[in-house]
Structures are given as C-alpha cells and as structure tokens.
C-alpha cells in the first residue's frame, strides 16, 4: 500500500521511504508530517537512498536530525523537514 501520494510504501509495521536524489552523499530530508504520523501509529521507517538503507524509528530520526523549513509553493506555509544522514550500509 502506498501513502502520501506514493512517497511512502507500507509493508506491515514498516514504512519504506525511497529517496531517488539525496541532498548530498546519503543526507536526506523527510517531512515532519510523515514522521509524526509514523510515530503516532508506532511504525518503523526504512529509508532507502542510493548507497545506503537504514531502519530507524521516527523518534530517533527527529532527535538526531536537523529541523529545517523550506518554502515550496506557499511562502506563508513553509514545509518542516528533518534532515539527516542515512547511516546504514548498501541499499536493500
């Protein structure tokens, strides 16, 4: 099952987030809304990007990540993102 317009794939208790283009290296950003929903539903995140894959809880991602605001469409409503390096090994 896919969620959030295809951004997240659900497999049991794991939400898989596939990142095609990291910011640099294995540093990626995830929307706060996705993290808070996963936290509320007790899900684990599997973040997959070129060169790395990591299973991590939303709590750890938010605690270790850097909170940033980025304007996409509406200047008065910036999107809150948490940016962090994917620490796992090769892509699964």
> Residue 1: its pLDDT value, please?
64
> What is the SS3 assignment for 85?
strand
pLDDT digits (tens, 9 = 90+) for 45-54: 999 999 899 9
| Percent of the chain with pLDDT strictly greater than 90 | 74
Side-by-side strand order, sheet with 14-18: 2-3, 8-11, 14-18, 44-49, 52-56
* Of 91 and 67, more confident: 67
pLDDT digits (tens, 9 = 90+) for 44-81: 999 999 989 999 999 999 999 999 999 988 899 999 99
> Residue 44: its pLDDT value, please?
96
> Is pLDDT at 2 greater than 80 in this prediction?
no
């Amino acid at each position: 099952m896919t969620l959030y317009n295809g951004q997240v794939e659900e497999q049991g208790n794991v939400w898989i987030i596939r990142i095609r283009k990291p910011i640099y290296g294995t540093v990626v950003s995830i929307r706060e809304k996705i993290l808070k929903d996963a936290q509320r539903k007790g899900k684990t995140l599997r973040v997959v990007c070129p060169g790395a894959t990591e299973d991590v809880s939303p709590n750890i991602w938010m605690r270790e990540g850097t909170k940033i605001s980025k304007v996409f469409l509406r200047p008065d409503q910036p999107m809150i993102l948490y940016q962090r390096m994917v620490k796992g090994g090769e892509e699964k």
